[in-house]
Each structure stands twice: as structure tokens, then as C-alpha cells.
Structure 1
Amino acid sequence: MKDELAERLLAEVMEWTSENVANERPSLQAMAAYKYDQYQQFSTGRKFVESLALWLKQFSKNERQIAYEFVKKRLIFCSSAEMEHLVAMAYPDFIRPILLDYTAKESGIPKNYISRLADSQKFKVLRRQCLFLGLSDGAHTDIFRRSNRELSHEQIWQAYEISPEKAKDMLKNLSEDMESILGRKPTEYESCFRMVFLLDDFSASGLSYLRRNPETKEFKGKIDKVYKQFYEAGTNLNNGIEKLFNRNELHIHLVLYMATQQACSHLDSIVRDLFSEKSIKCNITVIQPLSAGVPLQQMDDSLFLELVEKDIYYDAKVKTKHMNVGKGDGRRGFNDCSLPLVLSHNTPNNSIFLLWADPDFYNVRGLFPRTERHRS
């Protein structure tokens, strides 16, 4: 009954005839059932069709069709199942080949001899010398752990901050496993991690991971925090974390389950600046890249972008100090990323403001209201 009322409300808002309703209902029901009803930030009892009707109601009569076409043709929704699939394939399809390539270089075994490489002691040693750290809740380290049984649970940790106690546990478990693999007591060199894989779900601009203050030239972001914790541990903290790694050979891999071309370009250049003076190597791997055509384009999306730019569909409260880290006023999302993207657990603030504005806080209603981490 509630679904029928929501459809009736939508038909009233759009001024649809019975024929229009008959034409639109199948696609609406499919979108809602297959994906959009999964959105985790809808208020209790609310579903997609009701949210769509209330969202469209704020527009003028002529604007509603433009907004509705945007939802049908440009909106991208990444479901929980799709994200879990990206998490599950990260190791076997992307990380494991990296380890096999390293093994091939070190052992002299041709890289196309995959079974021989995978069965070799060198590969098993290198695999255990990898540490997997989550950069946020979006890393889904629980799913990553369950999906990859050939990895030890002790080499997967849900956060990038590591306490001295946890570091000791990691080293103890690593040493025990290395003894089992080698059949002897491991050396000090063999009993530390050689690779660190930093896991996270999504990046649109790359600025939260690494950026540089244009005036002070100081780095900020999650990768800088990791760098300082790992590289400066011995000199500043003296808490034993420096024993986790052979910092002369440490190789860091940032693994993003999804990222835009803009984020990849930014991170690829700036990580070199951060690590250029040290012997640490850093690479970026993206499981699902978003092409340059994903952000809204002035040429193709001009009608809807006109709505995005209107003052009536904007609230200056969105322009916080956190939003000021990027360019733009927030209408097109953080750093003007202009994304039409929704993730099932929350809408990124890099998406357009009209998509994620929370009506309980702003004077604008978003289709998929976002729960914000930084709010006054």
C-alpha cells in the first residue's frame, strides 16, 4: 500500500496520465527493487520512489522532467553487492599478480609460469610479508579477509594506525608463520613486512589521501599520516613500530576499489613528491576506474547543470572549512568533481549537492541524502 501511495504521489508531482504511469512504472520498479531501495541513509520506512517524488516536487513544472531524465540516464548507483564484488576481486585479480611479478624478478622464473611461481617458497614468503591496512570503514577489511583464505588474518588490519602492542603481535605472528614456511628460524630481515597495501573504497579528487599546502608546502592526508607513522616511527615515536618494516625496501601500494580519472592523475603525481627523497616506493591500483565521461559535462548535461547552479537549489552552509580544501562552492560537489554517483552506504560529497543535500540541515532536498562526517 505504501508503494502504491508513493507511485501515486510521483504521478501527481509529474502530472502523468495513466498512459505515462504505465510506461514509467516498470523502469521505476526495476530501479527501486534492483538498487535504489538499498540506500542506507534513507530515513526509516522511506524508499526510492517516495524520495524521488519529494525531490522532484521542489522543482518547477518545466524543471521536473529535466531532473527525472537525469535520474533515468545519468545517475550511477553502486550497490552493496557490486562493492563487495570489487573488494573480493582486489586480491586475486590485482594484488596477487603484483606479487607473482615480484617473485618472477627475484627468482628468475619466467612470469608466464604462474603455477610454478605460486608454488614457490619465494612467493609464499613474499605473500606473508605483505600487510593489508584499511584507510576507512569503506575498506571493508572484513569482506577482504573472508574472500582471501590464502592470506593470514594476522596480516589484515582494519585501520592504518597501529599501536605498539598490535605491532608486537603482528611481528610475533609473522615470525611464527615464516618459520613454518622456511622450515627454520627466520632472519631479522625475513621477519618484517616488505609491502603495505592500503585499502579503501572510493576517491573522486584524491585530496583526502594526499595534498600539499600551497603556502607551507607541507603534505596532508591519509597517506602522509601513514608515511609519518612508518618512516618517522624510529626517530620520533620510538615505540617499536619501526621494527615492522625494512624501510630500505618498503613498497606501499594504494588500492582503491573505485576512483575517478581525476583522482588517479592527482595521486600519481603527488605521491612521487612525497616519497621522492626516500627509498620508499608507492604505486596506485584502481579496481574499477571511472572514466572521464562519468562527471557531468557542460556540453551533454547543460540543462541539468543549470539547475545545479541555481541559487534556489543551493545552501551556503555547505561551504565549510572542509569543503574549502577543494575548489568551488560545493554546488558541483567537493572540488567541483560534478559526479552523479551514489554509493549504497552514503553519497560521496564529490557528487553534486542537489543529489545529497540533507533536508533536515539544508534548505534543499537531496534525492539520496548524505550523512556527513564534518558538520557544524
Structure 2
Amino acid sequence: MDWDNEVATREYGWLRLISSMKYDGYSDFRAGVRFLESLVSWLRQFDKADRPAAYGFVKERLIYISTLEMQRVIETFIPETVTPYLRQSVAAELNIKPYQVWQSADGTAAFKRRLRRCLFVGLSDGSRIDVLRRANAGRLSQEQVIPMMNVDDEKWKSLAVDLKKDLGPDARFDDVYLIDDFTASGTTFIRFPDGEPKGKLYKFEKIVQDAKARLAKQKEDFPLSDGYALHIHHYISTRQAHDALEERVTEANEKLQNKSFGKTIITEGMLLPDNIRVATIDKATRNAKMTQQSDGLIVDLCHRYYDDDLFRRLEKHCKEAGQTDMKYGYADCALPVVLEHNTPNNAIPLLWAETKGKLGSAMQPLFFRRDRHG
């Protein structure tokens, strides 16, 4: 970096602080090759004249969600998202104001019953169901939290039995929360390529419908109410993803035949605003191509230090989002975001891509990504 002593002293101090407080906790870093070593290797791929821009981007624009920060978002899920919704629902049932629910024993008992009739379903490892359970010990029953959505018939039966044991023979789950850690584009949750439904929402709907049909043949009760309220909750979401989810869920409500759920509610623990993005979208053309109205230096690096072999490797996945390259990450989200357990493919590839330079410049990751798409 050609720093003089004064600059080097200042920057090394910042690097030691940020490494120990946050970045060294990244799950793919190992002893001897943590953030500082990875940063040195990453900067070396750039020409010397480009290194200040790359370093400045890491220092000024990178958003890193640490383990502790993610835990805090998970801990606030029940009190700040679920509780206000249920309090309003109970107040409507009792014909009182929401703030009056806990003023009487009847209101408190009604709230507890309503909370017990909520089912929480993790959609991936990122849903951190273990953290959610620990944070709500004594508040949630173990029999209303499912770590993964692939539920077998025996589990559905046990959910029904335990709920009836707690609340009576007619008890059903009235609210189902589908929980995941992060969404940046909102495009993969539910989509209709070639007119056929795909995505996590459709997968869960199919699991529910198939299990309900099998248990009906066995004359067993199914634990979900007809037309239950479906809540889609991400611990962290971008504004782009929130808006896209609303549009796609509306489409799903129209296209899914005989769906099991009724109203849908989209929530998030932390909503990231549009202005965190590295570059702006030219909304006039609506073609998801970036302009250089902001972050000009890093945008330039995204173009020049890019290997199109990355796109070829993920071509099928990318074409579903209407992309022709991966310079700005999946769905052209252009995010400067890294999560402590992995880097989303919606972040700019300069942060996470590793290629050999077959169709451009070889790419060296700063935060290596575990890529489930190949």
C-alpha cells in the first residue's frame, strides 16, 4: 500500500481492532489465515494503483453481520415481531385495545393460548432454531418449533397430539412462521419459471398438502388450521427483497391452486435500506443493469477484475434472474454485505468469488463463499 509510518500506524490500529472485534470470526477463516492475512492476499490481485480503492471499500462500505449481531436479531424476533401481532389479534377477539391485553388474567391467558397456536419452521441452517429456542426458553414449547421444513408424518401427528394436550381437542396452529436468516433479492422464495411454481414457499406448501392428504387417509388429525396465516420472516432483509417478496407472494396467491394458507405477512428483524448498495439500478430501463452514479471506483473494479467463468458456472441459476453476467452478484443486488457464517452470492463477487481466470481476470476472495450452486 506504500503507507508512510503515520498512515501505517493508524491503519494497523484499525485493522487489529476490527479483526479482533468482528472479521476474524468469519466461519471460513482458520488459524494463521484470518482476516489480515486474507486481506493481504486479496489486495495483491489488484494493480498497485487500484489497491487504495479496494482497501477504502473494505474500510468504509463493507457491512459485516457478526455472530453476536445476528444473535441479537434472533432474540428480538418474538418480542418485537410476533408479540405485537398476537397482541393485536387477541385484542380484536376480546374487543379491547392492544395495550389492555395484559391488564387482566383473561387477556394474559388468551395471549398465551394464541402464542401456543403458532408454529415456527426453520427453512435452512441459517434460521438458527437452536438460538431461537434458547432465547425463548419457557415462552415457546419445544413442540411448536421445527428446525427444518421437511417434516415426516409422525412429526405432524406428534405436533397435533401435544397441541391438543395443552389447549384441548379442537386446537390447531393458526399461524405458521417460515424463518430464514437473510434475503437480498426475494426472487428465489417463490417463482414461476415456465409457469411452474418453484422455491421454498412452494416446497413447504407441497409438503403440507401431501402430508394433509396422507393423514386424512389414515383418519389422523392434521395440526394446521384451514387457511392458517402464513408469516414469512427473515432475520435480515434488503428493501429490494421485501418489495419483491410482496409482489411474488401476491402472484403465488393467484396462481397456487387450493393453497393451504390464507393471508400472508412478510416481516424482517433488520431491514437494510437501498442506499447500502454499491451502485444504483437504472430503474428507467428496468433491466437490472447498474449505472456508475455512485461508488464509481469500486464499480470500475467490479468490471475490470472479473472472470465471466463465474457466470458460466452459475448460468442456469443466474438466467432465472434475467442476468447476463455476475459482476454485481446474483440478481445484480451489488451488496457490500457479509454474514459471519457465509457471504451471500448477492454481494459483489470481488468479495467472495474464486476463479482461475479462464474468461477474464482470476478472482481471489476476501471472504470465501460456500456455494451451494456449484
TM-score, normalised relative to structure 2: 0.88
| Equivalent residue, structure 1, for 2:353 | 357
Question: Residue type of the partner of 2:159?
Answer: M
Q: 1: distance between equivalents of 2:240 and 2:146?
A: 28
In structure 1, the residue corresponding to 2:265 is in which secondary structure? strand
> Which of 103, 106, 109 does residue 121 from structure 1 map onto?
109
Structure 1 residue 285: deviation in Å?
0.5
1:334 pairs with 2:330: yes
CA distance in structure 1 between the partners assigned to 2:278 and 2:161 by the alignment? 50
* TM-aligned CA deviation for residue 359 of structure 1: 5.6
Task: Trace 1:162-241 onto structure 2 (pairs within 5 A).
Answer: 162-178=151-167, 186-188=168-170, 190=171, 192-213=172-193, 216-231=194-209, 233-235=211-213
- For residue 322 of structure 1, the aligned residue among 310, 317, 320 is 317
Q: Verify: 1:347 aligned to 2:325, yes or no.
A: no
Going from structure 1 to structure 2, the CA distance change for 1:239 and 1:41 (only over 3 Å counts) comes to: farther
* Residues 260 and 291, structure 1, Cα contact 8 Å, conserved in 2: yes
SS at match of 1:267: helix
User: Among residues 267, 270, 279, which one is paired with 2:248 in the alignment?
Assistant: 270
| Alignment-mate amino acid for residue 273 of structure 1 | E
SS of residue in 2 equivalent to 1:194: strand
C-alpha distance after superposition, 1:336-363 (max 9, x if no partner): 0000100010100000111001368983
Q: What is the CA distance between 1:218 and its match in structure 2?
A: 2.0
Cα distance, 1:121 vs. partner?
Answer: 2.8
Count of residue correspondences: 349
- Read off the aligned partner of 1:314 and give its amino acid letter: D
TM-fit CA distance, 1:31:
1.2
Give the aligned residue type for 1:325: E
**1:307 maps to which of 267, 281, 301:** 301
In 1: Cα distance, 2:319 partner to 2:31 partner? 32
Relative to structure 1, the CA distance from residue 260 to residue 242 in structure 2 (aligned partners, 3 Å threshold; closer, same or farther) is farther
Give the Å deviation of 1:235: 4.5
**Contact 1:200–1:257, Cα closer than 8 Å, also in 2:** yes
User: Is contact 2:73–2:269 with CA below 8 Å preserved after alignment?
Assistant: yes
Deviations 1:126-174 (A, max 9, x none): 1111100001100000000111121101100101121001111111111
1:54 equivalenced with 2:53 (yes/no): no
Alpha carbons of structure 1 residues 60 and 97: separation in structure 2 relative to 1, 3 Å: same
Partner Cα separation in structure 1 for residue 217 and residue 176 of structure 2: 19
Shift, 1:197, TM fit: 0.6
What is the match of residue 145 of structure 2?
Answer: 156
Q: 1:217, CA displacement in angstroms?
A: 2.0
Aligned to 2:273: 291
Change (3 A) 1:239 1:88: farther
Evaluate the alpha carbon distance shift between residue 165 and residue 105 of structure 1 in structure 2; reply closer, same or farther with a 3 A threshold: same
Percent of paired sites with the same residue: 36
User: Structure 1's 234 and 170: CA in aligned 2 closer, same or farther, altered over 3 A?
Assistant: closer
When residues 211 and 242 of structure 1 are mapped into structure 2, their CA distance, relative to the original with a 3 A threshold, is farther
Q: TM-score scaled by structure 1? A: 0.87
The alignment yields a C-alpha RMSD, in angstroms, of 2.1
Gap runs ≥5 in structure 2: 280-291
Kept after mapping to 2: 8 A contact 1:104/1:117: no
Unaligned runs of 5+ in 1: 1-13, 179-185
CA contact (8 A) 2:101 2:111 kept: no
Q: 1:68, CA displacement in angstroms? A: 0.7
- Report the CA distance shift for 1:304/1:43 in structure 2 as closer, same or farther (over 3 A): same
Could you tell me whether the CA contact under 8 Å between 1:231 and 1:242 is conserved in 2?
A: no
CA distance in 2, matches of 1:204, 1:242: 38
- Secondary structure, aligned partner of 2:99: coil
Q: C-alpha distance in 1, partners of 2:44/2:217?
A: 58
- Following superposition, the deviation at residue 238 of structure 1 comes to 5.3
Which of residues 256, 260, 271 in structure 1 aligns to 2:234? 256
Does the residue aligned with 2:225 lie in a helix, a strand or coil? coil
